Amino acid sequence: MKEEVLFEISSLSRNPLKVKGFRFGREGTTPSCVIVGPMMGTAIDQLWIASQLVRFLRQHELANAAFVKGEILVIPTVNPYSFNMGKNFWPLDNTDIDVMFPGYDKGETTQRIASRLFEKTNNYDYAILLEARKDHVECIPYVEVLESGMSYIEDARAFGLDFIHVKEETPNDTVSLTYNWNVWNAKAFSLISGKKGILHKHEANKVFDAIVRFLVKKELIDFSTFEGSHGNLVMPNDVEAIKSSAAGLFDTLANIGDSVVHGQPLARIFNSLDGTLIQTIISPCDGIISCRYDYSLIFQNAIAYRIVKVESAQNNL
Amino acid sequence: MIEEVFNVNLPVNETLTLRRNRFSPEDISTSTKRISIVTGIHGDEIEGQYVCYLLAKWLNANQHCIKGIVDIYPSMNPMGIDSITRGFPFYDVDLNRNFPGNTADFLPAQVANAIVDTVRGSDFAIDIHASNIFLRELPQVRISRSTADELIPLAEKLDIEFIWVHDAVTVLESTFAHAMNSLGTKTLVVEMGVGMRITKEYGQSLTRGILNLLAHVGIIERAVLPMTKTTVSNLHSEVFFVNASKSGIFIPILEHNVTVLKGEKLGEIIDPLSGRIEETLISPCNGLLFTIREYPVVYEGSLLARILEDPKEDTAL
Ligand SMILES: [Zn+2]
């Protein structure tokens, strides 16, 4: 293992922002894979996954020099500043680094960070980004592939996670890291999991296992793991978004990963002043809860749950 | 007439409401022209509030002049305005990156969708932004190159200092202006002043410009005022950006809105701890200093100034 400072940004009042990379195997060999941790400073699960991965790879490489067969670069995070303040985005101007790619080295601070990160990560065969969802939800781990990456869905199956979501691209996606990796011919995946702000070890460890499985199947490491799931392909229309019709205190009755049936109560909403039950949210379909609103106060018309519908997921197998 | 165009219940005994003030003549037909004046999409940009006030005040006092429909929408991100938050509170997202919005998405996207729905069908729209809290801007209309032919003649009627024609990045496709322009509403974006402040003379001057535009397109009956400013567009000149290459405290030397010469000193980045000058900023061209940094703390990359280069003389060749 080689620990490197990939780049740094100086600060008036703080320590310089140092972005560290941990390199395994031999630089420039194939196959190669880069794994980038969270850009959002509240994505703790993702930081855990990335750091555990460094620990795992280091221990095995120490025991067996031939353990890594290609090259693996892990960058646990590019945004320590925000982590240290409990902020989502870049502390000074609240910009999201993941809308700055491919970056511009003569531009704004976050564009420079994006540009330097991109320069260090755009020449890999496989590229994995660890992400939390940006809205207030908790979700079961899944692989996200952009529509432009449809040709390597089979590769996405190597993670062995239950769901592979195909994301319809919006103009905003063109400035994301995964989109730009795709443009540069890496096979790029987002692994999305957990809930912002706290460590969910159970879900996080599933993602960790998935990455190890991927590295094994793509012959990047010499290791054995269990077979994972075949990976249900989930197209945008296969997900049912269930909205609240009332606002108030949100009492959830169902968890992510639960199989639910049509007509099953999922949550109750109570009037936040007089305690009246104002709505029981009912599942409109059979399926698996992939995503749940994660805050105990809810707005009217908020998305309370997303359910992957059973019948459509089967059609995509 | 003050109307509510969107309502959503919040968890604790409150409703989020978007409002407009509609001024219209007694007889309305299908040929009646309609303009929407929109502001407050970014909650920390207050300059547009004053323009809405002046415009509504004028229209109240001159009802007999109104031949078309003028809709004034002062605060499209009410909780943002109330909390000095640029983005949409709780979600931490930029509302102006979520157009045209969607009813099956999180609240900011639902709000964006409601704004588009209510403005839809207007012949014209003006979206007034202040700069953010970091920069002070000379009043300017920003137009993407693809819509320049259509929009420049309209923008010139605003009697504004500067029309900036820019090459659109895909990410701008998710702005209000893009959404409305693609629905056939000719939409101009005005940027002026600085975040969290009101610059009275800019507000007064833009209000006069808007009244002038309204007279030109037949929405109000009023003598068209003589132009007081020479509107310049950058079609024949470049805009130069000056970014910090060191972090520190930026001390400008020049006032905003002055002509600068190539090589002239714009300001310094200083280090209060060591008492040293870290960087001296120099103008890269002759031209008009139309953007200057207002907030002193800078990182490497922070934008300090923008200069509109003097028009090239041989543009006809
Ligand atoms: Zn704005």
The mean pLDDT value for A30-52 works out to 97
For the entire predicted model, the pTM comes to 0.94
The residues pairing with B189 across neighbouring beta strands, listed in sequence order, are B127, B142
Shortest CA distance from B172: residue in chain A: A171
Percent of chain A with pLDDT strictly greater than 70: 98
Q: Residue B172: what residue type?
A: L
pLDDT of residue B313: 62
The single-letter DSSP state of residue A27 is T
The C-alpha atoms of residue B88 and residue B42 are separated, in whole angstroms, by 8
CA dist A302 and B59 (Å) reads: 38
Q: Scan residues 244-303 of A and list those with Cβ closer than 8 Å to B.
A: 246-250, 272-273, 297-303
pLDDT in tens, A233-273: 999 899 999 999 999 999 999 999 999 999 999 999 999 99
Which of A9, A171, A175 is facing B299, going by the closest CB pair?
Answer: A9
Contact criterion met (CB < 8 Å) for B8 and A300: yes
**Residue B110 is nearest to which of A10, A171, A301, comparing CB atoms?**
A301
Could you give the CA distance from residue A85 to residue A83 in angstroms, rounded to a whole number? Answer: 5
- Residues A31-46 have a mean pLDDT of 97
> Quick check: B226 contacting A, CB < 8 Å?
no
Q: What is the pLDDT of residues B64-80, one digit of tens each?
A: 999 999 999 999 999 99
Residues of B within 8 A of A12 (CB-CB) are: 247-249, 271, 297-299
Of B16, B132, B300, the CB nearest to A10: B300
A-contacting residues of B 162-181, CB under 8 Å? 169-174
List all residues of chain A from 95 to 154 with a beta carbon under 8 Å from chain B. Answer: 99, 106-112, 134-136
Residue A123 in 3-state DSSP?
Answer: coil
Separation of CA B99 and ligand 1 centre (Å): 14
Full pLDDT tens readout for chain B, 317 residues: 999 999 999 999 999 999 999 999 999 999 999 999 999 999 999 999 999 999 999 999 999 999 999 999 999 999 999 999 999 999 989 999 999 999 988 999 999 999 999 999 999 999 999 999 999 999 999 999 999 999 999 999 999 989 999 987 877 889 999 999 999 999 999 999 999 999 999 999 999 999 999 999 999 998 777 777 777 888 888 999 999 999 999 999 988 889 999 999 999 999 999 999 999 999 999 999 999 999 999 999 999 999 999 987 654 44
Residue A313 clears pLDDT 80, i.e. is over it: no
pLDDT digits (tens, 9 = 90+) for B155-186: 999 999 899 999 878 778 899 999 999 999 99
